[in-house]
Amino acid sequence: MGNVIIVCVLLIIIFFAVRSSVKHFKGEGGCCGGGGDSSPIPVKELEGNKLGEVKVHIEGMHCDNCVRTVTKAINSIDGASAVVNLKKQTAVISYDRELSMDRVKAAVKLVGFEVKD
């Protein structure tokens, strides 16, 4: 009975390790999964006049791929354009319409990072 429990625990650990590795190699993980992508960080132009900007702290970024991922996530929000700084762990978000911080937090969380208040 003890051997069965040990084997089950090991299978569960292996399952999660393989699942995480697959996400990493597909570039879907929170960090560094994109490999040696040397493409420039995307720049998004706002459609209207800039109404303002907000600076937020992003937790969990470790490399340029992380910056690219966070930038794309924030830029996917209508009316928002981000400039992300890896060293400072921040994003400066310009907006041309009302910006929901809950929407920003959700977009960043969806790609594996967190906006800290």
> Going residue by residue through the chain (117 aa), what tens digit of pLDDT does each one get?
888 899 988 999 999 888 877 766 655 554 565 555 567 787 899 999 999 999 999 999 988 889 999 999 999 999 999 999 999 999 999 999 999 999 999 999 999 999 997
pLDDT tens column, 44-75: 999 999 999 999 999 999 888 899 999 999 99
Strands 114-116 and 80-85, sheet pairing: unpaired
Structure tokens at 44: 């998004």
Whose structure tokens read 């998004």?
Answer: 44
The angle that helices 64-75 and 101-110 make with each other, rounded to 10 degrees, is: 140
CA distances from 22 to 6, 26, 68, 87, 91 (A): 24, 6, 20, 28, 28
